[in-house]
Chains A and B, each alone.
Chain A
């Protein structure tokens, strides 16, 4: 198509050159350009080159008889609706493919892969110095109880012990570490949250006493009997607000909150805040995670 013709045509009217130039810059419109040319040619005959958009042509400016408008519309429509139809079918096909793709951790694998990509981005952006906001005691709200997998009321607390990387600790051993306190927001993946005061030992302090080999990537935690289990990336485990907590709102944990010792990790959703921790392991193999096996993000991090 002769672009200059169009340009000239528009310049006669003035003021719309810019827009026309823009149209030309959009690639892949040969067919439309051809139509444009036809339109412009017919316009030129009748000295009518009104701007195509925005300002309606003055009533005195009469377009020449363009008997082929119907034909042009037909041609454009055939092509336009064909492309639209094919795209709609392709989109539907893509949707069918996605929703029927083989499952990885109970979701279609492309979604699982995307969660893993998002995880890589999150890990790269993560900084230990960025803290979960803390609140004054006056803002503490009801600590909702949710999820009791691996918990039971008649558990023998005296029999409990923590196994960390093969070493056995009791509650007094944990309480011997510096006691950290924080009032943070506990965020459930379901969308609700509460603000509570947690007291306990920093996981990083405990791990410093039983250090993992250098470059260890993951920390795995399990309830006694392994009814519930979570996997943590190392930098989230080492975060200063990641506590092995034994008190909630200054009271010893109740069994529903995971007595005698639970993980509280505000850089993760509630699902990672494993209650009644029995075992802590270091590993370079991505640890199994109870909810990640049931369709949730393995990272689940904030």
Chain B
């Protein structure tokens, strides 16, 4: 037997889906900016595992070379949309009480390990699943903290004299830029895992993010 259950409030669905293209544009325009000084790498000490760059011909092929001015213009336009949407989302979760389902609590960190082990098929019994499981709570809260991190590191790079104290807090101009970059890589990692989990969880769960409701199977008597 089936039953409809309300899952995602309309406001959260809108915030979520509005954020998606905005963040995509921010990442893309950020890449246009990064092209001009693609200096980051993954490595230990002086040993470089790989450089955070792509071959020159791919920059050309994907039309992301020599577009710094264009990238900055888009970045400084969409930053407002990204910030406003994010702030409204946070305010909404606070005033609606939705934060209760989203913020991790004392148990979340232990449970998140159980969730991870279960998802990796290293553990048989399913962890407690409420509206969001512990790993989701941590992920969905972390992504908001990351968003805030992007805004403040962005401000530290954008206005390093007027907000010199902020730039100093991040360890200087280049360090602020470093954090700003790696937060973006964090979004990309989040996105990949998020998409993977959504695919695994299935249509009913995905549809709930569009229509707000989820169909639940209820065992027959």
Known: A59-B219, A76-B211. A54 touches B173 (CB 8 A): no
What does the 1/0 interface line of A114-130 toward B look like (CB < 8 Å)?
A: 11001000100111001
The 21 sampled A-B contact pairs (Cβ below 8 Å) are A19-B97, A22-B9, A22-B96, A26-B11, A32-B10, A53-B7, A63-B2, A66-B2, A73-B4, A73-B211, A73-B213, A73-B215, A87-B17, A107-B73, A114-B77, A122-B162, A132-B160, A132-B161, A190-B68, A191-B34, A301-B159
Q: CB of A62 within 8 A of chain B?
A: yes
Q: CB of A296 within 8 A of chain B?
A: yes
What does the 1/0 interface line of A3-34 toward B look like (CB < 8 Å)?
A: 00000000000000011001101101100100
Q: CB of A193 within 8 A of chain B?
A: yes
User: How long is the Cα–Cα vector from A239 to B162 in the complex, in angstroms?
Assistant: 12
User: How long is the Cα–Cα vector from A28 to B33 in the complex, in angstroms?
Assistant: 40
Asked whether, in the complex, the Cβ of A302 is within 8 Å of the Cβ of B207, the reply is no
Q: CB of B145 within 8 A of chain A?
A: no
- Which residues of A approach B to under 8 Å, CB–CB? 18-19, 22-23, 25-26, 28-29, 32, 35-36, 39, 43, 52-57, 59, 62-63, 65-66, 69-70, 72-73, 76-77, 79-81, 84, 87, 91, 95, 106-108, 110-112, 114-115, 118, 122, 125-127, 130-133, 185, 187-193, 266-267, 291, 294-297, 301-302
A267 contacts across to B, CB distance below 8 A: 161
B220 contacts across to A, CB distance below 8 A: 62
Asked whether, in the complex, the Cβ of A106 is within 8 Å of the Cβ of B218, the reply is no
Asked whether, in the complex, the Cβ of B131 is within 8 Å of the Cβ of A192, the reply is no
Q: CB of B116 within 8 A of chain A?
A: no
Contact residue among B21, B37, B74, B212 (Cβ-Cβ distance under 8 Å from A91): B21
B70 contacts across to A, CB distance below 8 A: 107, 295
Asked whether, in the complex, the Cβ of B77 is within 8 Å of the Cβ of A29, the reply is no
Asked whether, in the complex, the Cβ of A23 is within 8 Å of the Cβ of B9, the reply is yes
Contact residue among B73, B129, B167 (Cβ-Cβ distance under 8 Å from A112): B73
Q: CB of B72 within 8 A of chain A?
A: yes
A107 contacts across to B, CB distance below 8 A: 69-70, 73
Asked whether, in the complex, the Cβ of B73 is within 8 Å of the Cβ of A132, the reply is no
A95 contacts across to B, CB distance below 8 A: 21
State how many angstroms separate the Cβ of A186 from the closest Cβ of chain B. 10
Asked whether, in the complex, the Cβ of A297 is within 8 Å of the Cβ of B5, the reply is no
State how many angstroms separate the Cβ of B176 from the closest Cβ of chain A. 11
Q: CB of B192 within 8 A of chain A?
A: no
Asked whether, in the complex, the Cβ of B6 is within 8 Å of the Cβ of A36, the reply is yes
Q: Which residue of B lies closest to A125 (CB)?
A: B162
Q: CB of B1 within 8 A of chain A?
A: yes
Q: CB of B101 within 8 A of chain A?
A: yes
B7 contacts across to A, CB distance below 8 A: 52-53
B96 contacts across to A, CB distance below 8 A: 22, 25-26
Q: Which residue of A lies closest to B3 (CB)?
A: A63
State how many angstroms separate the Cβ of A46 from the closest Cβ of chain B. 10
Q: CB of B168 within 8 A of chain A?
A: yes
State how many angstroms separate the Cβ of B178 from the closest Cβ of chain A. 11
Asked whether, in the complex, the Cβ of A53 is within 8 Å of the Cβ of B69, the reply is no
- Quick one: which of B179-221 are within 8 Å of A by CB? 207, 210-213, 215-216, 218-221
Q: Which residue of A lies closest to B213 (CB)?
A: A76
Q: Which residue of B lies closest to A126 (CB)?
A: B162
